[in-house]
Amino acid sequence: MSAVSIPDLPPAPGTAWLFPGQGAQHVGMGKDLYERAPAARAVFDAADAALGFPLSTLCFEGPEDDLVRTVNTQPALVVHAIAALVAAIEAGAVRGRPDFAAGHSLGEYAALIAAGAVSFEEGVRLVRERGRLMQEACDAVPGTMAAVLGLEPGPVAEICAAHGAALCNINAPGNITIGGTLAAVEAAGKAATEAGAVRVIALAVAGAFHTPLMESAAAGMRTVLEAAQFSSPRMPVVSNVTARLLTSANELARELTEQITSPVRWVDSVQTMVDGGVTTFIEFGPGKVLTGLVKRIAKGAVTHNVATADDATAALEAAAR
């Protein structure tokens, strides 16, 4: 039995829960949640037990060089997100089950945990293995990523195809991430600038995530995921790969395998939720990346962020009704 349980709350129509795949990870992340929210403390303790090493100590005390390694960052971000969620539920700030859950990249695992589709302990073990395999892929075939601002997906896809790069994330209108080998990304970035991009920003990343350069990681995770225990989610989870709804357990191993080498279709994912009646989005975990993107995609949407114990006790009644 899982030591971490997300309660099956009554419905809260018009809301969605969001979980980031990146964030302001730093030494001390989640420490206030651990110290002030018993439910969050149980999450960190369960993660330590599931992984067989003190991830919580690494999050709270470092060293930072170890924390920012992909193999550690991935479970740290998921644990922080789930700790923030259970702290908000424990505080009574979040009282209802959303219409949808969605996570960006790695955050899709947190969304599935929140939806009851995979146990917390198994989810944390899966993301650590995902991080390990992705780091191996990065080491085997070095790659990089860049943000292209001011162009739409069609032209960027054509530029990538012409220069051996790939779309990684379609984050917001005019905000697209590309990836590939260093030479391919540099050439595609130059071509994007010539095609009218406002800016092309090199990103400090370990490799070319969500591109074919991650194929070895996808192959490794396919075997791991096929042996994992999944259940049908309590609320639909929006697919990174297709932006359609994941509602059945038998879809999940394939989804989580394909998302490693496929672009994250975040614009379409948010639109799926808006079309489904969502007006309020709550992001759990470090930073405010996803709610920032939502504001650019869904004008007028209400957004909240829960990253700290203070956030978890804030008034979110509008999102919890």
- Active site members: 105, 210
Q: What angle do CA 193, 199, 201 make, to 5 degrees?
A: 110
Tokens describing residue 56: 């919580």
Return the half-sphere exposure (C-beta side, CA atoms, 13 A cut-off) of residue 80.
35
Nearest to 209 by CA among 284, 130, 283: 130
> Cα separations (Å) of 236 from 55, 86, 103, 131, 145?
30, 19, 12, 25, 30
Burial class (CB in 10 A: 0-12, 13-18, 19+), 139: exposed
C-alpha–C-alpha distance, residues 77 and 194, integer Å: 37
Residues 6+ apart with CB under 8 A from 280: 14, 15, 16, 301, 302, 303, 304, 318, 319
Q: Is the Cβ–Cβ distance between 182 and 189 less than 8 Å?
A: no
> What letter would DSSP give residue 230?
-
> What letter would DSSP give residue 37?
-
Parallel/antiparallel/unpaired status of strands 144-149 and 166-172: unpaired
Number of other CB atoms surrounding residue 317 within 10 Å: 11
Q: Is the Cβ–Cβ distance between 272 and 245 less than 8 Å?
A: yes
C-alpha–C-alpha distance, residues 152 and 198, integer Å: 12
Number of other CB atoms surrounding residue 56 within 10 Å: 22
